[in-house]
Chain A
Amino acid sequence: MSYVDPITLLFASIFTSNIILANFLGTCSFIAISKDLGSSNGLGIAVIVVLVLSSAISWPILHYILIPWNMIYLDLFAYIIVVAAVVQALEMIIERVSPALYMSLGIYLPLIVANCAILGVVLFMEIRNYDYVQALIFGLGSGIGWWLAIILAAAMRKKIDKSNVPAGLKGPGITLITMGLMAMAFVGFSGILRVQ
């Protein structure tokens, strides 16, 4: 695979291979939290931080421990521990810095551990053989992409709330359809460049 320069990778991970709209990773908290713009913004930023930190910690573990020791098959174990620890640390920091955000995120904050976007990004980093700078940029870009998608969705849901949605589609139903439409819109970016 040819080397992708960091700027391109950042752009690609935000728009053309958006972690949620192109890969559909991290949908459960996306659907649950996107009903409120403020919490969406908070969770989006939390996801950015977790992604950057997880990538930053996982990469050295992969390249200095797993690969030299020939134990790549344990990657999931190692990554899960890293992600859980980063989320725990972030939870403590948010509780201190912004109790209001801590309350509004509620159970979804610790659930970032189970947000597949995080593990997905770290695994992409491994599969696509990124170097350290690329890993950080990809983590940051994917985080920004997730944040962008959730605040766009939250903004749309504000409008949807005021419109006449069929009873059976209220809530998650219409959100999934909205996500699908957003994904189609994002497909438009994919002609610009392609990073897999």
Chain B
Amino acid sequence: MFPLSTLAAQALLIGGVSVLMAVMISVIDSIVNNYGDVQLDINGKKQVTVKGGSKLLGTLADQGIFLPSACGGRGSCGACKCQVKSDVGPHLPTEVPYLTQQELRENVRLACQVKVKADIGIQIPEELFNIKKLSCTVESMTNLTYDIKEVRLKLPEGSDLTYTAGQYGQIEVPAYGGIREPSARAYSFASAPQEKDTLEFLIRLVPGGTVTTYVHKFLKVGDKINVVAPVGDFRVHDTQAAMICVGGGSGMAPFRSIFRDMEARGVLGERDIWYFFGGHSVKDLYFMDWLKELAAKYERFHFIPAVSEPGPGEVWEGKPARLIDVLAERFKTEIPRELAKEGYLCGSPGMLDASMEIMRKNGMTDDKIYFDKFA
């Protein structure tokens, strides 16, 4: 039998050496990564003194300027682009895949990858100054389906949030369970901008998802939760073209906001709209009454639901078909070819790519297809 004391001595030895080295690293880190105070210049208008050594994204957030970030700074969404005017070294291999040739020339960087080491000047769109971090209170949580919740948040007093239907907010959740750090993910608003004091989100439980799991399992009515908003450029373009909208599952969120906004402004009946919505089975569908009502009320609003595999015992009036197959079929039978069209898509990358392919085949061009891809 292996003596326990030997085992303990081994553990002590390896642990001791590790601790020694960790101390050495943290001492060096505190010396080497101490960049002191640096000047941050934003758009040549706002100059602030910040502490160097952190990533640009976090440094800006500390200053109350929130660049869009769907992935929470992991370098996997490419949303936090900003043009850097000063020299911060060459592009990193982690940035290059998200940047176009033109952006590379203009020194557009991913703020979550660039470290603030010296005085730095950046150029960001003016509207980003409007993005705020709002401490909201959970007003209600409703199960729309077995895995999608409607979460209504009450905005703090006097927050005066103005946004465009189709934009999104980043919900921040604290560290919980095995997740050591606070996380943030982007969710489209489902509420209409006219509702001044509340925000609504449709949040689907993603197995293993950090934020969705927190929202579904831990968040309660009355809790405080931070939302960084408004972000994003997904919105209805002000033309007379017919809108071909595709958003299955929780991808309905921006369309719920858009349709409610158009209805509130009294313009919902003024252009042709096809909304394709679907799920695997009937139990994945929700807000059906509302959508059918809209279709009945407005002649030019067409609501097309799809179910691919009705579950046992479920009644589905139509033929079972996948959402994108229904989209392709309606292009043949119902949507006039000569009509000027715009595509609006929200959902998973796979569904989006398939929908765009169908739209292209039916004569639509990429510059008229707008989308909000789940990152």
Contact = CB atoms under 8 A, between A and B. Distances in A.
Contact of A93 (B17, B21, B28, B90): B28
B17 A71 contact: no
A65 B19 CA distance: 14
Contact of A78 (B9, B14, B92, B117): B14
Interface in B1-22: 9-10, 13-14, 16-18, 21-22
A106 B92 CA distance: 10
Given A92-B29, A96-B33, A69 B13 contact: yes
A89 interface: yes
A74 B24 contact: no
Nearest to A81: B17
B315 interface: no
A77 B14 contact: yes
B93 A65 contact: no
Interface of A is mostly: helix
Contacts of A84: 21
Interface string A79-107: 00110110011001101100110010010
A99 B17 contact: no
Contact of B10 (A71, A92, A93, A99): A71
Contacts of B33: 92, 96
A96 B34 CA distance: 10
Contact of A61 (B17, B24, B89, B92): B17
Contacts of A66: 13
B18 A81 contact: yes
A66 B92 CA distance: 42
A81 B14 contact: yes
Contacts of A95: 32
A82 B21 contact: yes
A93 B29 CA distance: 8
B9 A99 contact: no
Given A85-B24, A89-B24, A92-B33, A69 B17 contact: no
A111 to B, nearest CB: 15
Judged by DSSP, the binding face of B is: helix
B124 interface: no
Interface in B297-338: none
B25 interface: yes
Interface residues of A, number: 22
Contact of B22 (A85, A93, A106): A85
B10 A96 contact: no
A65 B22 CA distance: 18
Contacts of B32: 92-93, 95-96
Q: How large is the interface on B (under 10, 10 to 19, 20 to 34, 35 or more residues)?
A: 20 to 34
Given A92-B33, A106-B93, A81 B21 contact: yes
B330 to A, nearest CB: 50
Contacts of A99: 89
A81 B60 CA distance: 36
Contacts of A69: 9, 13
Contacts of A92: 25, 28-29, 32-33
A99 B32 CA distance: 13
Interface string B229-246: 000000000000000000
A81 B9 CA distance: 17
Contact of A85 (B9, B21, B89, B117): B21
Contact of A71 (B9, B89, B92): B9
A122 B92 CA distance: 34
Nearest to A100: B89
Contacts of A71: 9-10, 13
A119 B33 CA distance: 28
Interface string A114-157: 00000000000000000000000000000000000000000000
A72 B25 CA distance: 25
Contacts of A82: 17, 21
Nearest to A61: B17
Nearest to B28: A89
B14 A85 contact: no
Interface in B69-128: 89-90, 92-93, 117
Given A99-B89, A103-B89, A106-B93, A74 B13 contact: yes
Given A93-B32, A96-B32, A103-B89, A88 B18 contact: no
B24 to A, nearest CB: 6
Contacts of B18: 81
A116 B14 CA distance: 21
A84 B117 CA distance: 25
Contacts of A96: 32-33, 117
Given A61-B17, A85-B21, 12 more contacts: A65-B17, A71-B9, A71-B10, A74-B10, A81-B17, A81-B18, A81-B21, A92-B28, A92-B32, A93-B28, A96-B33, A96-B117
8 contacts: A78-B17, A81-B14, A81-B21, A82-B21, A88-B25, A99-B89, A100-B89, A106-B93
Question: Lowest 9 A-B CB distances belong to which pairs?
Answer: A85-B21, A89-B28, A99-B89, A96-B32, A92-B32, A78-B17, A81-B17, A93-B32, A89-B25
